Copies of this chain bind each other. A is one copy, B any other.
Amino acid sequence: MSDLTDLPSPVPPSVTAAWIGLMRAQRIVLAAIEADLKAAGLPPLGWYDVLLELARATEGRLRPFEIEKRTLLTQYNLSRLIDRLEGKGLVQKALSGEDGRGRWVVITQDGRAMQARMWAVYSRALSDHVGRKLDESSADALASLLAKLTDGG
C-alpha cells in the first residue's frame, strides 16, 4: 500500500517554506502586538482597524459594507463588532437617507480618542516587533513580495 505522504510533493520547497513562514510570522507578530495592546488595557486590533477607517473617512462615517471591503472582516462579524463599538460609545449608528437599507457608522469623539490611544501603543509595538527586525529596504522588499500574493489572478 502506497502512502501519499511519501510521494514527492508537486509543491517546491521554497513555496512551502514561504507559506509556513507567512503563517508563523503573522501569528507570532500579531500575538505580540495583541499582547501589547492588552497589557495597555486596550481593545483588540480589529477595533483599531474599524476606528481608523472611520477616522480617515470624510465626516468620520462609512457604510458597513465599505468598512467590510477595507478591513476584510466578514459581514456578520463586522455587524457585531459595530454593536460592540457602539456599546462602548466609540461609534454611533445612523439611518442612511439615500439608501433605506443602509446605516451610517459614525465615529464619536471617544472613538477618535480611542483610535489615537491605540495607535500610540500599536505604533510602538510595530516598531518593536517589525521595525526592529527589518531595515527599510528589507521591509520594502517584503511588502512587495507579499503584494504579489494578493494581487489579482
Chain A residues with a Cβ under 8 A of chain B: 3-5, 9-12, 14-30, 55, 72, 112, 115-117, 119-120, 123-124, 126-127, 129-134, 136-143, 145-151, 153
Contacts of A127 in B (CB 8 A): 10-11, 15
Contacting residues, chain B, for A3 (C-beta < 8 A): 112, 116
Nearest Cβ on chain B to A39's Cβ, whole angstroms: 18
> How many copies of this chain does one complex carry?
2
Choose one: B9, B119, B133, B143; the contact of A14 (CB below 8 Å).
B143
Q: Pick the residue among B10, B12, B117, B149 that contacts A28 (CB under 8 A).
A: B149
A151 to B134, CA, bound (A): 11
Chain B residues, CB < 8 A from A21: 142-143, 146-147, 150
Expressed in whole angstroms, the Cα–Cα distance for A147 and B16 within the complex equals 13
Task: Indicate if the CB atoms of B133 and A149 lie closer than 8 Å.
Answer: yes
In the complex, what residues of B have CB within 8 A of residue A72's CB? Answer: 24, 27-28
The answer to whether B26 and A23 touch across the interface, beta carbons within 8 angstroms, is: yes
A16 near B126 (CB under 8 angstroms)? yes
CA distance A131 to B138 in the complex (A): 22
